[in-house]
Amino acid sequence: MILLLGATGYIGQAFSDELRGRGNAFVPLTRSSVDYTRFDVLFDYVRSARPDFVINAAGYPGTPDLDACEIHRAETVRANTLLPQTVARVCYLMKTPWGHISSGSIFSGAKLARNGGFQIERDLGQPGLRSLFDAQPDAFHGFAEFDEPNFSFRSPPCNFYSGTKALTEEALRWTNQCYLWRPNLVFDACDHPRNFLSKIQRSAHIHDSVNSLTHRGDFVRACLDLWERCAPFGIYNIVNPGAVSGRQIVEVIRHVFKPVRPFDFWKSDEEFQLSGAKAIRSNCILDSAKLLSTGIKIRSISEAIKDSLDMWKPSAPNQTWMQAIQPAFTVK
């Protein structure tokens, strides 16, 4: 049996669907049923239920976006940093393997191939680098699992959300029966406030940034495949291979939907911050070679984006975006 924490969240719902589809027995645990933020409560539950595996899909990504994490800092720390350590201690004492959803947002930029080596470029929004990416995308390489985060409290500037996620990875280095799964800018075919493709379609202005992206369904399948195949524990970048810019995504949207509305782009990060944004954003490329080396197959980013837009499912007409958000943690 698998114990799933944060089953009502954006990623948690995808885990629930995939586990049902595979016929896996699992318990979708929510805080309303069991307050798993308390060590004693979670320990007693795990000791009684004896799950084979625990998935921590709970956290606070900010509602409706990252800016909320800058305001609700105590909640962000409690959900993104303290809870995973509670789960880690319980699983360690019970000798239960587990998986935790980290984030690729603890990195900024990419490794640029130059002069026979690699140079880290933290800001991919520079005009020269954007032009170079269009001309030579193969010159841009992603951060690997052994690289130290460069968008964190230890390597500022960063936003508060990314800082807490990087701090958690540092705090969990002692664990030896844990998967740390890193997605980056999650999307799929279902219109949702957390869906990166939804955000692009509905935003008045768009970042023309370069990023790795993660298809939500591909992500949960890869996570479960790692566990079922007994892959070595540790950190895994789970992104669809390749990288894509904001303008490239817009071009696919235009091709598929032929929208009438124009797409405007922010001229710079400075213009975005002056618009009232409280949190600076991370844009980065991650290397998925370690995941692929396990034999797990995952679609390229271009294929996953095209498939998602071709199968696009708009949100219900009577459902607002705020109603669609079901965070695993709720600010009180």
pLDDT of 317 over the 60 cut? no
Burial class (CB in 10 A: 0-12, 13-18, 19+), 225: middle
User: How many angstroms separate the Cα of 242 from the Cα of each of 148, 245, 248, 325?
Assistant: 21, 11, 13, 29
Longest dimension (CA), the chain: 58
pLDDT of residue 253: 94
Cβ–Cβ under 8 Å, residues 144 and 284: no
Give whole-number Cα distances, 138 to 77, 134, 162, 200, in Å. Answer: 37, 10, 27, 25
Q: Which fold has domain 2-324?
A: Rossmann fold (3.40.50)
The single-letter code of the amino acid at 229 is: R
Residue 220 CB: number of other CB atoms within 10 A? Answer: 25
- Residue 126, sorted as left (phi over 0), alpha (psi -120 to 50) or beta, turns out to be beta
* Residue among 131, 134, 138, 114 nearest 241 (CA): 138
pLDDT of 218: 98
Element (H, E) at 180: strand 178-182
Q: Give the number of C-alpha atoms closer than 13 A to the C-alpha of residue 304, restricted to the C-beta side.
A: 26
**pLDDT for the residue 326:** 47
Rounded CA-CA distance 144/49 in Å is 36
pLDDT band at 328 (very low <50, low <70, confident <90, very high): low
Give me the pLDDT at residue 38, please: 95
pLDDT for position 316 = 66
What does the pLDDT look like over 76-105, one tens digit per residue?
Answer: 999 999 999 999 999 999 999 999 999 999
Which carries the bigger pLDDT value, residue 32 or residue 132?
A: 132
Whole-angstrom distance, CA of residue 183 vs CA of residue 195: 13
pLDDT of 50 reads 97
Q: Are 121 and 93 in contact (CB under 8 A)?
A: no
Structure pTM? 0.93
Per residue in 223-260, pLDDT tens? 999 999 999 999 999 999 999 999 999 999 999 998 87
Any idea which of 49-58, 106-115, 172-181, 317-326 has the lowest mean pLDDT? 317-326
Is residue 19 within 8 A of residue 2, CB to CB? The reply is: yes
The arithmetic mean of pLDDT across residues 281-310, rounded, is: 96
Amino acid 11: pLDDT:
96
Q: Which amino acid, one-letter code, is at 76? A: T
Q: CA angle, 18 as apex, 14 and 19 as ends, to 5°?
A: 115
**In the chain, where the domains are located:** 2-324
pLDDT at site 332 = 32
What pLDDT, on the 0 to 100 scale, is given for residue 290? 98
Mean pLDDT value across the chain: 92
Other beta carbons within 10 angstroms of residue 275's beta carbon come to 10
CA–CA separation, 111 vs 127, rounded Å? 17
Backbone angles phi, psi at 255, to 5 degrees: -65, -40
- For tokens 């524990």, name the residue: 233
Q: How confident is the model at residue 329 (pLDDT cuts 50, 70, 90)?
A: low
Please give the Cα distance from 320 to 325 (Å, whole number): 9
Per-residue pLDDT tens over the stretch 176-217: 899 999 999 999 999 999 999 999 999 888 988 999 999 999
Tokens standing for residue 62: 């900010």
**Does an H or E element contain 295, and which?**
none
Task: Please tell me which residue, 329 or 312, carries the higher pLDDT value.
Answer: 312
- Going by C-alpha positions, the residue among 61, 44, 62, 64 that lies closest to residue 3 is 44
Query: Rounded to whole angstroms, how far apart are CA atoms 328 and 12?
Result: 8
> Is the per-residue pLDDT at 324 higher than 50?
no
Tell me how long the chain is.
Answer: 332
Q: Which residue has the higher pLDDT, 327 or 261?
A: 261
- Sign of the alpha-carbon torsion through 243, 308, 25, 298: negative
Q: What is the pLDDT of residue 330?
A: 45
Per-residue pLDDT tens digits for 129-179: 888 999 999 999 999 999 999 999 999 999 999 999 999 999 999 998 999
More confident residue, 318 or 132: 132
